[in-house]
Structure 1
Amino acid sequence: MEYDIEQMTVKMIKNQDDFKDKIVLEIGCGGGEISSILATDTKQYIGIDPDINAINDANQAYDNVDFRIGSGESLNFSDSSFDIVIFTLSLHHQNSILAMKEAYRVQKDDGKLIIIEPSVDGEFQQFFHLFDDETQVIGNAYHSLMNSAFALKIHDTFNTIVRFEDKTDLCSYAFDRETISPGDENLIIEKLNQSQPGSSEHSPILLKDILDIYLLAKN
C-alpha cells in the first residue's frame, strides 16, 4: 500500500506556514515518511507516536527527525517550546480535549497549530468504518478543536489517493484492526464492489481519501 501517492498532505501542510528554522512537533508521526520531508530546513523536528514498532521503524529509516514514543494527551515538553505543532490524522485517536490543551501549552504564543483529520465521507475511510466506525470520534475531534482556546484561521479540504497493488494487498491492510478475522476479506471485497464495481482481481486499486486541514493560532 502507498498512501497519498501525490504527496498532497505534505504540500497542504507546507502551505500553512514557513517551516524554515522552526522548531516543530508532530503528533502521530507513524513511520515517519511525512516527518522526514517536512523536517527539511527546520531547526528541530520531533515526531511522537504511541506505536513502539512505528517509532523503531522511523528511527531506522530516517536520521533527520528526533522520533520518540509519546501521546498528545501528555506531552513531555516545556511550555511554549514549539513554533509549529502538527496532528497528522491523529487527533481523533486520542482524548482530543486533553490533546488540544497540551498543544496549546507547548506552542509558542506566535506559533501555529496544523491539524489534518479524515472526512467520514472519504472512500478510503469507509473501509475503516467496516471494523470500527470512527464517525463519532472524528466528530469529537472536530468539536474539540472548534471549542479549544485556539482561534481557527483556515479550514480547507483536499483529496489524496491511496494505492494498493491488488485486491490481496487491500485485504491484508490492517485498517486499524487489532486482529484479522476470517470473514473480514468478504467485507472488504463487498465494500470495494460497492465503490468500484468491476474491479479486476490483479489490477492496482486506487481509493480516494478526503482530508480536512485546519490552521489555528493562539488568541
Structure 2
Amino acid sequence: MTSLLHEQRLADACEAVRQCGARSVLDLGCGDGDLLVRLASEPQIERIVGVDICAASLQRLRARLEALGVKATGHVELVHGSMITNGAAFKGFDCAVLIETIEHIDPDRLSVLERTVFAEMRPRTVIITTPNAEFNRLLDVPPHRFRHPDHRFEWDRAKFQRWAEGVAGRNGYRVACRDSAGCHPTLGGASQMALFAVAAHHAGSVQAREAGRSGPGS
C-alpha cells in the first residue's frame, strides 16, 4: 500500500479511537507501532498496551518510543505474545484496535480470535481494519495474488460485512462498516473498517449480573 493510503488508514483509525472516547486502548498486532506512536500523543488516552508476537517488531517500537521521549512503561506498555490467546489478561480496556492484522490469521482460526477478543477481553469498542480485495486492481495486484505474502485471505466488502455482522450478533455488539484509506466510487477504500460497540441492552445485563455476584449473600 502506498504511503499516502497508509497514512490515511492510520488517521481513520486514530479518529475512530477519538470518537469512541476511549481512555484505555489495546493495540493487538501492533507491529512496529505506526498506530501506537500516534495514540501515545493523544491527551485523552491514559493507558495503551501494544501486543505483538514478533519480538523484533517490539524492539523497533521501543526504540521509536524512546526517540520520541516516551518510555515503554507507565501509560505505554508493550507485551510480547499472541493476540489470540490469554484474552482474560487483557480485560477491562475501553477499546481494542486490530489494524491490518486479521488477514494474517488462518481463516479457520478466526473463531479463536473472535472468542479471545469479543468474549474474553470484551472491550467496550473494537476497531478492525483489513484490506479491501476490490481495491487491489488499483494497486496492480493480480487477481490470484494477495498484497502481502503473509496474508492468509483478503475479503471484498460484502464478505467482510457478513463476517463482522456475524461476530457482532454472536457476542452482543452492534457494528458499522465503512471504507478506509481512500474511497473509490465503485471499489471503495484500500482498507475497510468495522466499528464494534457493545450493545446497550447487553451491557446492562452484564452490569446486572456483576452487581448480583457482589451483592448480599455473595
TM range (shorter): 0.5 to 0.7
TM-score normalised per structure 2: 0.64
Residues 130 and 154, structure 2, Cα contact 8 Å, conserved in 1: no
Q: Which has the higher helix share?
A: 2
Pairing of 1:85-104 with structure 2 (within 5 A): 85-94=96-105, 95-104=109-118
Letter in 1 for 2:116: E
1:213 aligns with 2:193: yes
Q: Which has the higher strand share?
A: 1
1:158 aligns with 2:171: no
- Post-superposition Cα deviations, 1:67-94, rounded to whole Å, max 9, x if no partner, equal 2222221135436321000101001212
Cα distance, 1:45 vs structure 2: 0.5
Q: In the superposition, relative to structure 1, how do residues 138 and 48 fare at CA in structure 2: closer, same or farther (>3 Å)?
A: farther
- The residue aligned with 1:52 is 55
- The residue aligned with 2:141 is 126
- The residue aligned with 1:15 is 15
Q: CA–CA distance in 2 between the matches of 1:146 and 1:112? A: 15
Q: CA–CA distance in 1 between the matches of 2:140 and 2:127? A: 21
One of 59, 67, 81 as aligned partner of 1:70? 81
Q: In the superposition, relative to structure 1, how do residues 117 and 125 fare at CA in structure 2: closer, same or farther (>3 Å)?
A: farther
Q: CA–CA distance in 1 between the matches of 2:147 and 2:17? A: 36
- The residue aligned with 1:43 is 46
Of all paired residues, the percent bearing the same amino acid is: 14
One of 60, 64, 71 as aligned partner of 1:61? 64
The unaligned stretches of length 5 or more in structure 1 are 161-207
Provide the secondary structure at the position in 2 that maps to 1:62: helix
TM-score normalised per structure 1: 0.64
Number of aligned positions between the proteins: 171
Residues 118 and 125, structure 1, Cα contact 8 Å, conserved in 2: no
Provide the secondary structure at the position in 1 that maps to 2:164: helix
Cα distance, 1:144 vs structure 2: 4.3
- Post-superposition Cα deviations, 1:163-208, rounded to whole Å, max 9, x if no partner, equal xxxxxxxxxxxxxxxxxxxxxxxxxxxxxxxxxxxxxxxxxxxxx9
Q: In the superposition, relative to structure 1, how do residues 52 and 133 fare at CA in structure 2: closer, same or farther (>3 Å)?
A: closer
Letter in 2 for 1:80: K
Letter in 1 for 2:132: S
Pairing of 1:100-179 with structure 2 (within 5 A): 100-104=114-118, 105-108=120-123, 111-122=124-135, 123-124=138-139, 126=141, 129=146, 132=149, 134=151, 136=153, 138=155, 144-148=163-167, 149-159=171-181
After superposing on structure 2, the runs of 4+ consecutive aligned residues of structure 1 that deviate more than 6 Å are none
The unaligned stretches of length 5 or more in structure 2 are 71-75, 183-187, 200-218
Letter in 1 for 2:97: I
